[in-house]
A and B are shown apart, each in its own frame.
Chain A
Amino acid sequence: MTDPTPDAPRTTSRSVGGDLVFRATVTAAAAIVPLLMAALFIQLALGAWPTIKEFGLRFLYTSTWDPVAEIYGAAPMILGTLVSSIVALLIAIPLSLGVAIFLTEFAPQRLRGPIATMVELLAAIPSVVYGLWGIFVLIPVLRTLVVPVLSAVLGWTPFFSGNFQGNSMLAAGIILSIMILPYISSVAREVIRAVPDSQREAALALGATRWEAVWSAVLPYCSGGILGAIVLGLGRALGETMAVTMVIGNRHDIGVSLLEPGYSMAAAIANEFAEAASTLHLSALAEIGLVLFVITVLVNSFARLLVWRVTRKFGAT
């Protein structure tokens, strides 16, 4: 682009000067975004440095967390974050994809708007309110209605053995699944809608049923983007803090049963950061933050690229 060269502004330099100021101002605003990201990473890395130096990689796979003895291993939190997120995905994937397919392919036109709005409202409810609801509504319901059935049917597996203690991995996973459902379904909807109608029509013209058209023509075309939607949901689940902190039980042990309490990385930071007294304790929590940050950045970048590829692919045609 050949921008007007402001060599010798003769008639008036007002507009050229104004443009320069304008450009400098908005460029500065834009530069703040990556600078914040870089500063965030550097601050966390600096904060985590004492524990990185002290424990090295052991921090990631040992499970002793003892602020008194100053020994820190984050395995229970890392594992707890992964397990609660996986439970959430197992519940949310079929539901959210079902919603997305229903809304884009099957729902009567009149219902699409209202149902989509209702699902999206789920994303507007604050995390702390989910936590409140989890404590006083979901957990009692789980205790009286759901867990007895689960124990009876699946109690023989290690995952549902033992007594339900209310605050638990299961409760955290269920809450998380509700929270990430609107994110997955809205991105999935966007991706499915990006598939050209000709795909559907071609399948239907060949005599496919409506479901077969979706299953064999639409979904394969946007499978990458749907995976992206799921990974975005995973990213949300990994970093979700308040609701998880309020129902997961905050126990520093690795348990197999979902009915028992657990811990997550975000919950550990939320619970302990304000009270951490020693440098090493703060550092350990900062390192948990760093690990969580790096994981979510990788997960989100991956997801963005997947979704972007699908919407670009069809956006161009």
Chain B
Amino acid sequence: MQDLKVQFFVSGGTVNAVDGVSFEIDRGEIVGIVGESGSGKTMTALSLLRLIPEPGRITNGRILYGEKDVAQMTDEEIREFRGNEIAMIFQDPMTSLNPVLRIGFQVEEAMIAHQRFSNKQAKERVVPMLQRVRIPAAKDRVRDYPHQFSGGMRQRAMIAMGVSNEPSLLIADEPTTALDVTVQASIIELIRDLSRELRASVILITHNMALVASLCNRVIVMYAGRIVEQGPTRAIFKNPQHPYTWSLLRSMPRVDEKEKERLISIKGLPPDLGKMPPGCKFHPRCKFRVDRCFTEEPPLDEVDPGQRARCWVLMKNIANPEAQAQT
């Protein structure tokens, strides 16, 4: 993905939901995209399938999948692409399944749509698919409707739908946010196991840093429609360079640290996408800002091999960040 820009044309002007986002994903890689609500992470993911809702539009950039540019595909090409090459699992399994169609049928039609399997094969594959996502008594439950399923089971059914065509990239948009904590772990485990079996890449969109730490190879941190930091998970967690990433990690309680250490909250709210501050978009909330941050937006520069951050200051140049952050 190169220099992606998604704009919403609303009355009173345009809003840049995603602005100049570039990243790439290798086969088999699990990448986490983190950020607060409204940081553009869901829009970035939706644009991979060209599913941006009205009045939004992709106005710039290329989304290359192999040789093909998703942004340039014809309607029929993009239809054939969705669910076949890239599949998506949505946030709320309660509302993401059609309430009037049987679970089994909803899985089946996903397969029939791409003719990778004959209608008969598709029908036969439904029960094994449901078993594969560990739905108990799958044989009896294919004829159930979504309202007869629990939240966790519905998310499993969503996953079954997603992987039924063996896509090479699976986008999971906050797949566990709407679920019980006990169910969350098993869903995440399922996504990880399936991606291994299918040798598929995964984009995990979340604001749960713990989830990222346990699952992802690489992390992309987004803020106000931009990537502010990206790099290998280990590096980001150990040496976050952008103050936003650093604050996100310090706002998370940790078991292994001394109890005395206080959690740090990020004061204020993310900026209104319609009224973006000049300079670095994070400076109004940043504890470490310098004069330059008010006027000039920093580039996304390499700070360590494989790790990039969009900051003039960088955390490694700050002597005692904890003390400064508490003030």
Bound pair (A, B): no
